[in-house]
Amino acid sequence: MERIAIIDLGTNTFHLLIMEVKGEEENIIHKEKIAVKLGEGGISEGNISKAAEERALKTMLYFKDKIKEEQVKQVFASATSAMRNASNGKEVMERIYDATGISIQLISGLDEAKFIHKGVKKALNIGLEPALIMDIGGGSVEFIICNQHEVYWMESFEIGAQRLLDKFHKHDPMLPKDIENLDDFLRKELAELKVKMDIYQPHHLIGSSGTFDTLIDINYQEKGVEKPDDNAFSLSLEDFDRIFSEIIHKTRAERMEIPGMIEMRVDMIVVAVCMIQFLIENNEFIDIKVSTYALKEGLLDAIISNELKIS
């Protein structure tokens, strides 16, 4: 048995996953996420703010203690959009290393998409027909067009929810004009995705983690149904449309009253659901699946298969 810790330093959330691995057997020892909001107050200017840096350092010191407590010898930490695009990202990573001894590996957007795909495949069977995997981060959004056996295309776009929040969420609730401006922006930024969608015509949308997890929680709680302990869920287009309408017409305080809503998602979820709605309106999806697995589970899979080495 060996214990491996995966840390995902996301733009909005830092994740810690500690697994015990023996051959094919994997057991979760510890799993948690903390809303660090690394991109808040700086991502649109291309830097990490001092306040965000302090929150990151505090969280990583806490993760270090948890890793020590669980007697983990192997640690892999990766940073994504906010860190890789910040002018002071290298300095922040160095400060974290000096304080914790944890070395952070910057991963490219394409690598992020690759590992997300691995994570989703661990959670569910994609099927034989083309599907679009969508992972909405705070800094970037990854898209993968694939089926269970083949990847047709993948790309990472620097249009994550924190960036869209800064750019378009000027009123609360968002005005119809704000949403129209956001749609126009997405139409331009996602022109390459549109071309690939027309070629491969995926009719299944698979959302991974983050916003999609919260949509599932809201759906189960509003229906008064107990959510099963699973890694994959379904969300009908009708249920998404109902939740979307609820989210975009409410103020922040009102959104917090929605059963299943959480503090770390309440702000970014507005622009995130607008992005999902944009995709649904412009493509012929017949269903939505949700994978609770994403980047960190894909990284774990790559480490176990020796595709990734822990330094």
CA distance 219 to 239: 7
Mean pLDDT, residues 37-65 taken together:
95
The model's confidence at residue 56, banded by pLDDT at 50, 70 and 90, is very high
Q: What is the mean pLDDT of the chain?
A: 96
Mean predicted confidence (pLDDT) in 107-118: 97
What is the structure's pLDDT at 49? 96
Which of 292, 293, 243, 297 lies closest to 272, judged by CA? 243
Alpha carbon distance 183, 111 (integer Å): 27
C-alpha distances in angstroms, 240 versus 186, 226, 234, 292?
A: 19, 18, 10, 17
The predicted pLDDT at position 23 comes to 82
pLDDT at 209: 85
pTM exceeds cut of 0.85: yes
Q: Is the pLDDT of residue 74 over 90?
A: yes
CB 135 within 8 A of CB 154: no
Domains of the chain: 2-106 (3.30.420.40), 110-295 (3.30.420.150)
Match 């607008």 to its residue by tokens. Answer: 274
pLDDT surpassing 70 at residue 311 = no
Q: Can you tell me the mean pLDDT for 38-42?
A: 91
What pLDDT shows up at residue 269? 98
